[in-house]
Structures are given as C-alpha cells and as structure tokens.
Amino acid sequence: MAADESTGSRLGSLSSREVCEVLREVVFERRTMTKVGTQTWDDVYACHFIVDVEGWRITLYNDCDELDYCEECTSADGRRWCFDSGDRFGTDPVALLSTWEHQTLERLLKAL
C-alpha cells in the first residue's frame, strides 16, 4: 500500500496521531461525541465502548471504569486505525493524550 506523505500513514489507514487529535477536539469541545448503542460507560464496566464523533466511529476500552486504550477507529471517509499489541508503547491514541486530556475524556465518557 502506498504511503501518504502528509500524514506518514498508509493510504486507507489512519495514524494514531490523527485519532488522538479527534479525541483532543472532543476534550476541548470542538467536536461532539455521542455514544453508539444504549449502554452507558458504567454498564459496560470492563468491555469496549463505542462512540461517534461527527462521523468518526471510535471504540475505546473501559477497564473497570477507567479509560484504558483505543481499540479501533474508522474515520468519516472510511480510513481505519486498529490497536495492535505488538505496536511500540505510546502509539495508542489514548496514550498520546496528556494526563489532563485523558482524565477529561474519561469524565466526558462517563457523562454520556
């Protein structure tokens, strides 16, 4: 697959930084996040929680009521990013957030 020089990712795929930026935009209230489905953050407790951010479908992992990592993301234009346990530490979009951003995002997820 060819590389996209502007993002450093393969065409058809997203980089973790692109996904992280969407999550940051939610934290700073530049984008709106809604839950997909009827379960709340508390209902899933230790499982995947899916949100929609203006057409971006993001699956996050709730680990005993704490935001742990991003499992996958599909952008509005169909590009994808998926978690791979073999990736280097810090390449998960959630791990790229600052402590404050992480805590704020977790609080927003709990409020959905």
Closest CA to 35 of 46, 24, 44: 44
For 23-58, the pLDDT digits (tens) are: 999 999 999 999 999 999 999 999 999 999 999 999
Mean pLDDT of 88-109: 91
The percent of residues above 70 in pLDDT, for the chain, comes to: 85
Under the banding of pLDDT at 50, 70 and 90, the label for residue 2 is: very low
pTM for this prediction: 0.86
Q: What are the residue boundaries of the structural domains of the chain, listed by start?
A: 3-111
Whole-number pLDDT of residue 6: 41
Find out whether 110 and 42 touch, Cβ atoms under 8 Å.
yes
Q: Are strands 33-35 and 56-63 parallel, antiparallel or unpaired?
A: unpaired
Asked whether residue 12 carries a pLDDT value surpassing 70, the answer given is yes
